[in-house]
Structures are given as C-alpha cells and as structure tokens.
C-alpha cells in the first residue's frame, strides 16, 4: 500500500522541504497552503520528484472551517494517513504591555486550534494506518518553537501558543501511542526561512538552522518503530546557549 502524508504550510520553507523529501520517497501527498496557484506549482514539482500522487487542499488555517476541510480532502482521496505534518504557523512580535490583541485570535487559530482540529479529524485515518502497519505505526510531527520552552522577550504570545502545542503533543501521546499513533513536537530556534526575515538585522541567516536539518529529523522520526515515543526535540543554534531563539 502506498504510504501517504498530509503537510500543512507546504509551499515554502520547512513544509516544502518535508514534502519534497516525502515525494522523493514515493509518498502520496496532500499539501496545504493559502495560495492555490503556488500549490499548483509545488504539486507539479512534487510529482516530478517522485510523489505517487499529490492532492491540493488550499485553505487559510486561521479560518475555523479550513483545518477540517483539509483533512476531509485527504481522506476522500486516500484510504489512510501515515504521517500528519503540522507545519503551518503564524507569529508576530510584541512586548506584553503593547501587544495588539487583534493578533491574538489569529495566532491561536493557526498555532493551536488548527492542529487540534486536524488531530481530531485525522485520528480515524491515523489509527487505520497504524493498524495496517503495527510495526511502524502512524506519525504526527508538529513544528513548534524553542520559544515554547524558553522565554524570549518580545515573543510572549507566539511562545505561549507553541508551548500549548508541545503540551498538546505530549497529551496526544499519552492517549494514542498505545494505538500505534505517536507524535513529536520539534522546537527549533531560528530556521533560515522567510518567516525569519524580520530578525536578519540581529541574526544573520547563515547562522540559523538549515531547513535540511529539520527535514532530516522528520525523516528519522517517520522511520522509527511504533514502540518509540519522542515527545519533543529541541534544536538550538550553534554558538548560543541553546536557550534562545
């Protein structure tokens, strides 16, 4: 049976890197992002890279209906779901005393509500994949942030939602790892992607974690047996104390 994966935020950065690696391994893929035109282009690239099939699920995950619709798109096309990659994220900086509360809902919707919704909607397919492959099980990988573990001035709201995501993953393992479905939150410091452009004046991109480093970790996690549970991986930048983004 063809292995399948659903990747959110799949048209750039870490999400694109993961989707490309899975395509090279022959996975069937459902890819999500907001821009339908960009998704079309990436889908062609993934098919050329070796994906057995690529399904597009356009949608803005700040929309409460979008996350469920993305999962439905996958389950209508594929029988099971071997890997759910929760990569899409949103963040904006601001100190607590001045943080615009209008940004709070969007941050919560994308970084916490959407992952929870997708976990709920995808669980039957994840359990089915685990049942058909009891040795390997099914995997969930959620891209969190080192700020979810260690406080970073100016990133209180972003860090709080990423801390909640880590907690969600750990509780998910307590509830579902016995069914062969395991989850890992990867919590990196700054990765060299478009999302980190705003901090280039302080942290040069050549000192940031490479996208390929995160892709390698995801690849490793997906190859683990169902007996191994890795709740979180923290990835620091060289030359730092590893407690800072």
Catalytic positions are 158
Angstrom distance (rounded) from CA 158 to CA 117? 19
Which residues, other chains included, contact 222 with Cβ-Cβ below 8 Å and sequence gap of 6+?
Answer: 82, 83, 139, 141
Helix axis angle, 66-77 relative to 114-132, nearest 10°? 20
What burial letters (b/e) apply to 75-103, b meaning 16+ CB within 10 Å?
A: beebebbbbbbbbbbbbeeeeeeebeeeb
Alpha helices in 109-195 (DSSP H): 114-132, 156-176
């Amino acid at each position: 049976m063809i292995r399948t994966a659903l990747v959110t935020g799949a048209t750039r950065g870490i999400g694109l890197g993961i989707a490309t690696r899975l395509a090279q391994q022959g996975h069937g893929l459902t890819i999500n992002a907001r821009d339908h035109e960009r998704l079309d282009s990436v889908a062609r690239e993934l098919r050329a890279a070796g994906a057995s099939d690529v399904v597009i699920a356009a949608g803005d995950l700040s929309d409460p209906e979008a996350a469920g619709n993305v999962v439905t798109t996958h389950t209508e096309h594929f029988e099971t779901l071997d890997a759910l990659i929760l990569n899409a994220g949103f963040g904006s900086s601001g100190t607590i005393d001045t943080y615009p509360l209008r940004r709070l809902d969007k941050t919560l919707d994308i970084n916490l509500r959407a992952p929870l919704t997708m976990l709920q909607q995808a669980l039957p397919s994840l359990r089915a994949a685990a049942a058909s492959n009891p040795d390997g099980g099914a995997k969930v990988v959620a891209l969190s942030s080192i700020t979810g573990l260690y406080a970073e001035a100016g990133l209180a709201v972003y860090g709080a939602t990423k801390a909640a995501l880590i907690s969600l993953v750990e509780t998910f393992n307590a509830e579902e790892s016995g069914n062969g479905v395991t989850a890992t939150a990867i919590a990196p410091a700054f990765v060299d992607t478009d999302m980190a452009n705003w901090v280039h004046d302080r942290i040069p991109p050549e000192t940031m974690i490479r996208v390929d480093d995160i892709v390698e970790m995801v690849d490793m996690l997906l190859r683990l047996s169902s007996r191994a549970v890795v709740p979180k991986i923290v990835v620091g930048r060289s030359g730092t104390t590893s407690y800072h983004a």
